Amino acid sequence: MIRFFLIEDDPVIRRMLERIIMECNLGEIAGQASDGIGVSIDQLYGVDIVLIDLLMPGQDGIQTIKKLRSEGFAGRFIMVSQVENKEMIGEAYLQGIDTFIQKPINRLEVMSVLKRVVDHLSLEASLQSIRKSLQILDVKAKEPVDADHKSKISQESSLEQKARQLLLQLGIASEAGAPDLLLIMRWLGEEEQRGDKLRELQLKELYTFILQKLHGNLDEQSIVKEVRAMEQRIRRMVIQAFTHLSSLGLTDYANPTFEHFAPRLFDFQEVRMRMQELEAGEKTTKCRISVKKFLSVFLLEAKA
């Protein structure tokens, strides 16, 4: 069961959030606090998601997140705020929040946001279980682990950890396509570590390889359906990263995340066009985005 912790100075909002979580069977409330000053890593033992207010007396949400991250908390943060200041929102994403819930609290929005993050955590746990099972079978089928094999495992772990950090930096860690991206990175990393040349695959071919590796032999109809679903999840995630970076650039052109990633992951002319769209209040984009370029550069960044 997913465990939540609430950090919010308004008791009415805490009660509303608690009621929504309990009535929708999203998880359980592990604890609550009216500000971030007194919250320690010990109180968050076993907590999966922290719902935290941005503006609180004494210590704001961003300061609290920095403190808890430095103490080793590895769970998810969801910011609850009515702040529309782009600089503060950009800073919150840089500190690793998954997403925002806008005040005043809307029940449907809260349900939608929390369900998406909970589903992502459940999917991640399932993938973790599959990986562990495959690793156990792999170890049983081989000779005792030698130094080279240990090095390979360490490199794979390092690649996946760096990929997770990149997902947080790009504001897409809670997107439905994030687990798909991690699987793709792992497969591409394994291909290269075996010394194989990465083939010039079409994206649909790549998605098909990943799904067959994960699920075994699927019938043709199921493959087509799963490939289409993966394709849509990944494209939506890439568009979200594109919009997130454009938003950071619109707030602060010298933002280090924007400066580093925007011209590498995307065509910078398209990024500038998206910034203009955001400035005009347009939610959808007409910009051209290369998913293949994004995946290729993401792998290079994860290996750096």
Per-residue pLDDT of the chain (304 residues; tens, 9 = 90+): 789 999 998 999 999 999 999 999 999 999 999 888 878 888 898 899 999 998 887 788 888 999 898 888 888 999 988 876 777 777 777 777 878 888 888 899 899 888 888 877 776 666 665 555 555 545 544 545 455 544 444 444 577 788 888 898 898 888 888 888 888 887 777 665 544 444 556 788 888 877 777 766 667 777 788 888 888 889 999 999 999 999 888 887 778 888 888 888 998 889 889 988 888 888 788 899 988 889 888 888 887 7
What is the predicted pLDDT for the residue at 120?
76
Q: For residue 198, what pLDDT is reported?
A: 46
The reported pTM is: 0.50
Residue 171 has a pLDDT of 87
CA gap 42, 73 in Å, rounded: 9
**Cα dihedral 272, 276, 277, 281 in deg (nearest 10):** 140
Of the candidates 121, 223, 93, the residue with the CA atom closest to the CA atom of residue 178? 121
Rg of the chain over Cα atoms, rounded to whole angstroms, equals 21
State residue 155's pLDDT score: 47
Residues 6+ apart with CB under 8 A from 150: none
> In this predicted structure, what is the pLDDT of residue 51?
93
Specify the residue for token string 């682990």. Answer: 145
